[in-house]
Structures are given as C-alpha cells and as structure tokens.
Amino acid sequence: MSKQKVLITGASTGFGNITAKLLAENGHTVYATMRDVNGKNKPHKEALLDWAKAEQANIKVVELDVTSDQSVENAKEQILTDTNGSMDVIINNAGIYGGGIQEAFTVNDHKALFEVNVFGTVRINNAFLPTLRKQKSGLIIQISSILGRVIIPFGGVYDATKWTVEALSENLAYELKPLGIDVAIVQPGPFLTDLVNKLYQPENLSIVNEYGKSAEYLKQFSQNFINTVSDPNIPNKPEQVADAILKLVETQNGTRPLRTVVDKLMGGVTEIINDTSSNVQAGLLQNFGLSELNSNNSEIINN
C-alpha cells in the first residue's frame, strides 16, 4: 500500500506517541499533534522530534488543542499547506479519563470530559472532512474503548463519552461509505498508559464521603484497577493498540472492519456485544433498504 499522510491527536504520550512512531517507522508521514508544544508538552515535542531525527522518520509536530475551534483551524491550515491540500488518515486519539461517584461530577465536569473525548473528535472530523470528500478517499480512526460497549461501576461520565463516540462513529461510517471514506473504531481494553496517571478529578469530591458502602466499593475498585494495569505480566501492552492502528492504515480501502477490539483480558465480552449489534444493525439497514451501507463487521485481537 502507498505511504499515507496521517494526522494523530494526543501524540505527546501513550497510544498516540507509540502509534506516531510506529507509523513513521513504516514509512508514513505523521503529523503528530498535541497542545501546548512550547510549554507543558515541550519536552514531549522535543523527544519525539529527536527520535524522528535519529530514526530518519518523517514526523512533524503540530500545535493542536482539540477543545479549541481556533487551534484546530490553525493546525488544519498548517498541515494542509504542508501537504498541498491532501490528507489520508485522521486518528482521533486524544482523550482524558475520569472515574468516581457520579454525583461528584458537576455539569462543568461532564462538559470537560465531553469537550475532549467527544467534541474534540467532531472538531477534527469537521475540519478535515471537506478534504477527504473532495478526494473521495480517506480513513478516520476513532479511538474508543471497551467502555463504549460495557459499563464499569464508577466510570459513568467517561463511559458516556465513549458510548457517544461509538454512536457518532457508526453513523459517520454509514454516511461516508458511499463517498469512498472509511471509518474504523478501535476499542482498547485496560492498558497502563499516561491516561491512568492523568485522572480528571471532579469538583465535588467532598460528596464521596456521604456515599458509605458505595464509597468503599469505589476505593476497592480503583485499587483493583490500578493493580491490574500495573502488573508487569498484564497481557495488554500499549504497542498492541499501535499495531492494530497500523494494520487498519495499511488495509485496503473498503475492506476494513468497522470495529477492532484490542484486549487480551476481556475482549471476548466486547466481541459478543459487537456481534449482536452487528446483526441488529444489519437487519435495521435491510428494513430501510440501506443494506449497501452495512460495514458492521469487527475484529478482535486477544491472542
């Protein structure tokens, strides 16, 4: 497959950073975006550029804050100027995690998580879709989560953002398929990345002490989760997500699975839901005479 021009958000650390490197190692041109490249993320920017220079890999770091319309517009202009107005792959990876007692999350807390995890993807897609539509080709990869399919206790707000990403992404896949543009959803399981170390803290934490037994369950759940992802023998490695993304990028257009589960702990559970949903959606599309829009197959990476 020809080498692709790829934009990825949230490339300072975690999945985004690892994926940017892997794609560049395989000859793709990567526009690794992150916010505050001359401030908080300056060390990450410099480390990534130093790595690219040493490896002779084509990575360009671009300032982009997915919560800012103006920042996205500025990044779009910079990138499309550099590519002569073309783009092949959009990877919506930027995200934040916040867990806890739901009442502790104010409306503003809800907005903050949705601003990054949901509206950030909308800003990016809306900015670059005119380019993809003009080309009549392209790929949008939405980084979701198994928590876009299942509910864990004390993950309500984060779960809600990922369920929303799932709905928006599948609908977008139907709309863009006739235009020659693929949408692929990646559903990682639990991994030890910097996302875990950057937990969003809700404003109303004092309310947790009033939750008695539920607060005890929260403490127990949080400790069990940290223990699980911190275990050096955990079968889930962040590189597996990067590998899955690379495979999607290099798969022929029109043949990509809609969903890819990357989880060696409980991926089979997610796949049951994906398969059930796929059958339901296939029937729904058929009933509306829209079977040609169906691309609801999925893949699981669990061995």
Active site members: 12, 144, 158, 162
Q: What residue type is 113 in one-letter code?
A: L
* 167 Cβ neighbours under 8 A, 6+ residues apart: none
Cβ–Cβ contacts within 10 Å for residue 204, how many?
13
User: What is the rounded CA–CA span in Å between residue 285 and residue 240?
Assistant: 33
Structure letter (DSSP) for residue 261: E
User: What is the rounded CA–CA span in Å between residue 282 and residue 46?
Assistant: 47
* 213 Cβ neighbours under 8 A, 6+ residues apart: none
User: What is the rounded CA–CA span in Å between residue 165 and residue 139?
Assistant: 16
Burial category of 243 from C-beta neighbours within 10 Å (exposed 0-12, middle 13-18, buried 19 and up) = middle
